[in-house]
Amino acid sequence: MQYDIFIVSVRDIIEIQKRELDTIQNEAYVKREIKFDDSTGTLVKVITGPRRSGKSFYAIHHLKSQGNFAYVNFDDERLIQLQDNDELISAIDVVYDGCRTVLFDEIQNLPMWELFVNRLQRQGYHLYITGSNSNLLSKELATHLTGRHLEQTILPFSFREYLSIQGRVLTGIEKKEHLATYVMTGGFPEPLIKKINGGNYLSALFDAIIYKDIVRRYRIRFVPEIADLATYLISTVGNEYSYNALSKVSSARSIHTVKKYLHYLEETFLFFSIPRFSYKVREQVAFNKKIYCIDNGFISAKAIRFSENRGKLYENLVAISLKSREYNGDTAIYFWKNQEQEEVDFVVQAGHRIEQLIQVCTDISSKKTYEREIRALLKAGRDLSCTNLLMLTEDMEKTEESEWFGLKGTVQYLPLWKWFSEDS
């Protein structure tokens, strides 16, 4: 429907959003541990990540420290009805007095946004854009802005950022106690800062992403199929999957449909997959992957009978921390599994070198568990020529030489709270 545009002018909408911006700038801000290079001239700065993870808030406060900027939020349905983008630019020039630095929020909602951004970039505008759809943004940026943009992915608060909310230096015991809470609540900023009911908030957000960013955008007709698949995946984080297996346990019986739905769930940052490591690309593609969720709060809010499996919750937290590095180009992550079905949770690769092997095991008091985890680490270390072996546990901190039937290696044991405090 077009009548809103005629009742409220584009300039009026930008004026209203400017007043909203003034309110946001005065709200309390938790400094993010994000490095963003502003010394790149007119390269378009692209900030992606899940809805409500703090992308816009970060960009607004970052730009506030740099000087004046204009702001346009495309989560406003009246703006995406525009037929002439020049009308929008004229309104920005008037409201913001000719400012050439502009933040476009949730840009993927604007039809043919990539051509619009490309044109403004050529005209010398300094553009910052945010979006909640990784594939949509990456595909169009690669096509229309090759070499003329920088990307940064922002996820919900890491554990270190979560600790910073406490406002004081914490002891190791206190950090451990906070980790026991964080592993359940996750790091979405709004419930943590505003002290609102996180379960209700995250349940509603999870559903909104599915229905608004997937069902509506891709015009999915059989909504229960993708909703059922999302519920199944969030209840089995850390487990392997194949498209064939998912088609048998979900109401989406077609493998093609399951593959398409999973792609949508990943590009909107609800889930991510980690492949099994192999030096052979063909094998890596053929192997099962493991599924993880972008925030533990979603798991607590939406998973079926999952709260008792704290080991998997901690594993998911480690996966998020490692995936954050991968999103921003530092490393690639995998899991390792041999023919004897022995596993290592995470393989961290930097370039062509395996940098580290990480096993997550909160409780290794059982001799059987201890031997299983160490044996897998040592075998993976041998097969992948990696000596940096790390075991993340609940309390243990030490470094020791380990041996298993001729296999030898130095294993570092580190409490999860300490690893997250230092590395997340």
For 357-386, what is each residue's pLDDT tens digit? 999 998 888 999 999 999 999 999 999 999
Q: 327: closest CA among 106, 126, 129, 156? A: 156
pLDDT band at 290; cut points 50, 70, 90: very high
- Judged against a pLDDT cut of 80, whether residue 318 lies above it is answered with yes
Per residue, what are the HEC states of 355-385?
EEEEEECCCCCCHHHHHHHHHHHHHHHHHHC
Specify the higher pLDDT residue, 17 or 2. 17
Residues 77, 1: Cα–Cα separation, whole Å: 10
Nearest-5° angle of CA 162, CA 163, CA 167? 115
Q: Are residues 346 and 368 in the same domain?
A: yes
Residues 271, 202: Cα–Cα separation, whole Å: 14
Q: Which of 95, 122, 154 is the last residue of a domain?
A: 154
pLDDT band at 1; cut points 50, 70, 90: very low
Find the range with the poorest average confidence among 6-15, 296-305, 361-370.
Answer: 6-15
Q: Which of 107, 123, 154 is the last residue of a domain?
A: 154
Q: Are residues 242 and 172 in the same domain?
A: yes
pLDDT of residue 404: 80
Q: Are residues 262 and 378 in the same domain?
A: yes
Q: Are residues 208 and 332 in the same domain?
A: yes
pLDDT (average), residues 124-128: 93
Q: Are residues 144 and 175 in the same domain?
A: no
- Judged against a pLDDT cut of 60, whether residue 7 lies above it is answered with no
Q: Are residues 68 and 214 in the same domain?
A: no
* pTM confidence score: 0.92
pLDDT band at 315; cut points 50, 70, 90: very high
Sequence-separated (6 or more) residues with CB below 8 Å from residue 334: 274, 275, 276, 277, 346, 347, 349
> Helix 85-95 to helix 10-25 angle, to the nearest 10 degrees?
50
Q: What CATH number did the domain enclosing 124 receive?
A: 3.40.50.300
Q: Are residues 331 and 206 in the same domain?
A: yes
Q: Are residues 233 and 327 in the same domain?
A: yes
pLDDT band at 234; cut points 50, 70, 90: very high
Number of domains in the chain: 2
Specify the higher pLDDT residue, 30 or 357. 357
Q: Are residues 170 and 136 in the same domain?
A: no
What is the chain's Cα-based Rg?
Answer: 23
Q: Are residues 203 and 150 in the same domain?
A: no
Specify the higher pLDDT residue, 233 or 285. 233
pLDDT (average), residues 318-329: 93
CB 241 within 8 A of CB 281: no
Q: Which of 119, 154, 189 is the last residue of a domain?
A: 154
Q: Are residues 125 and 176 in the same domain?
A: no
Q: Are strands 271-275 and 289-293 parallel, antiparallel or unpaired?
A: antiparallel
pLDDT of residue 27: 84
Which residue range(s) make up the domain with 113?
3-154
Q: Are residues 126 and 164 in the same domain?
A: no
Q: Taking the mean position of all CA atoms in its chain, how far away is CA 180?
A: 21
Mean pLDDT, the chain, as a whole number? 90
